[in-house]
Amino acid sequence: MGDDERVVRLVSAGHARQAATQVIQTHGPAVLRYLRALLRDEGTVDDAFSLFGEWVWRGIANFRGEAPLRSWALGVAWNAAQRVRDEAWQKHRARLSTGFASRVVAKVRTTTPGTLERRAEGLDRLRGELSPEDQNLLVLRLDQELAWEEIAVVLSGGGSPVKPSALRKRFERLKERMAKRAREQGLLHDRG
């Protein structure tokens, strides 16, 4: 039985706490890497990961397996990342209250290697120049290695549906812009 099916069964049986624990333990390390790639500040990453854990805890009862669990979890993480970027959140942030959910989140955070493999400094700078939405697209496709259909699920989470074909086109344009900027900064050289 796969993770998705296990979580759906737990939710259906009324065991939301166990389902949320399963999601955080199974997908937490990948979510943490994802948030580090997006946010690049450990304090902000911690806040977003805590919010992710809280939202998984509260929202897992609504998970029905209509989308892959990994995509659902990354969608929750993306929403948490957007939330912590909001200045109002930074001013009024409240850490996840101590309790079982915060212990599970803390355990995953402390058992995941603290250092993410660093990209070349120049590429990291280029990524930092991108909009949060473009950074998210790069992270989902390159770092998380999601299929276009999965990325569409993540990005459609809070609004209107996103088409995989539109994402592919957007990604191609983004790669062209990144390559141009990399050449301008001497990170790539034209072959001639």
* Other beta carbons less than 10 A from residue 143's beta carbon: 17
Q: Among 117, 151, 177, identify where a domain stops.
A: 117
Q: Among 117, 150, 181, identify where a domain stops.
A: 117
pLDDT tens-digit series, residues 56-91: 999 998 888 888 899 999 999 999 999 998 854 555
Q: 164 and 91 in one domain? A: no
85-122: string of b/e by CB count within 10 Å (b at 16+)? Answer: eeeebeeeeeebeeeebbebbbebbeebeeebeeeeee
Q: Is the pLDDT of residue 158 over 80?
A: no
- Quote the tokens at residue 139: 């992270």
* 99 Cβ contact partners less than 8 Å away, ≥ 6 residues apart: none
In the chain, how many domains are there?
A: 2
Q: How confident is the model at residue 144 (pLDDT cuts 50, 70, 90)?
A: confident
Q: Return the minimum-mean-pLDDT range out of 63-67, 95-99, 115-119.
A: 115-119
Q: 2 exposed, middle or buried (CB, 10 Å; 0-12, 13-18, 19+)?
A: exposed
Q: 141 and 98 in one domain? A: no
Q: How confident is the model at residue 116 (pLDDT cuts 50, 70, 90)?
A: very low
Structural domain boundaries, residue 167: 119-192
Q: 56 and 97 in one domain? A: yes
Q: Among 95, 117, 139, identify where a domain stops.
A: 117
Q: Is the pLDDT of residue 50 over 70?
A: yes
Q: 79 and 1 in one domain? A: yes
Please give the model's pTM, rounded to 2 decimal places. 0.64
pLDDT score, position 117: 39
